[in-house]
Amino acid sequence: MRTDKINIKDKLPTYHAPTGIWNKIEEQLDILDQEQVSKSTSKKLPIYQAPDIFKNIAPQPKKRIISFTAVRVAASVILIIGLSIGFKQFRNRVNTQITHTIEASENNISRMDESLAFDSDFMAVLGEKCKTSPKVCEKSEYEELFAQLKEIEHEEEQLKEALKQFKSPEIESHLVRITNDKIKLENYILKLFS
């Protein structure tokens, strides 16, 4: 084993730079320094302004006039105003509909009062029919229909009193339904005689 260390750099050939290389490097460094100076001096020079005719030709960047926050606030305010106006119109329409319904109910009550004369006439007609055809009036079907008619008339009277007190559209619609049922029942009873 060898104990001597071999130094590789001693075995490499030596290279000598050509004679003018250092001068060229210094010249290049001088040029770079001059460019730095020219850049700093160019910052001190005035900036060229193009004539106004070129400003009209070149597209201008758009400026944001309104911020998004202002748009959001405005949209919220418009939405709240719109909802309040819509709610007021809805409430007015509902009040108008209820008023019209109550007026219609009052008209129907006055018509129903007029129809009471007809109802009493119906009972008179029914009495005459029973006198001429007593067998029909003795049938169980006639008795059931007549009992239902009495119940409907009683319920109709109660609804009319309630409608006079409360003037509710629900009561009025139920009263109309009961009156229609009463008319159908009267027609069924009359068909028994034919």
The answer to whether 137 and 123 have CB atoms below 8 angstroms apart is no
Rounded Cα distance between 179 and 115, Å, is 10
pLDDT digits (tens, 9 = 90+) for 104-114: 555 555 555 55
Domain boundaries, the chain: 87-192
Distance (Å, rounded) from C-alpha 161 to C-alpha 9? 127
The predicted pLDDT at position 89 comes to: 75
Nearest to 172 by CA among 183, 185, 163, 182: 163
> What is the Cα–Cα distance from 113 to 32, expressed in whole angstroms?
115
* Calpha distance 156→103 (Å, rounded): 19
- Segments of the chain scoring below 50 in pLDDT: 115-118
The one-letter amino acid at 122: F
Query: What pLDDT score does 116 carry?
Result: 45
pLDDT given at position 2: 57
- Tell me the pTM: 0.40
Rounded CA separation 174/168 (Å):
10
Predicted local distance difference test score (pLDDT) of residue 31? 76
> Residue 111 is encoded by which pair of tokens?
């018509």
d(CA 98, CA 166): 12
- Complete DSSP assignment for 105-119: HHHHHHHHHHHHHHH
pLDDT in tens, 144-176: 988 998 998 888 888 888 888 887 888 888 888
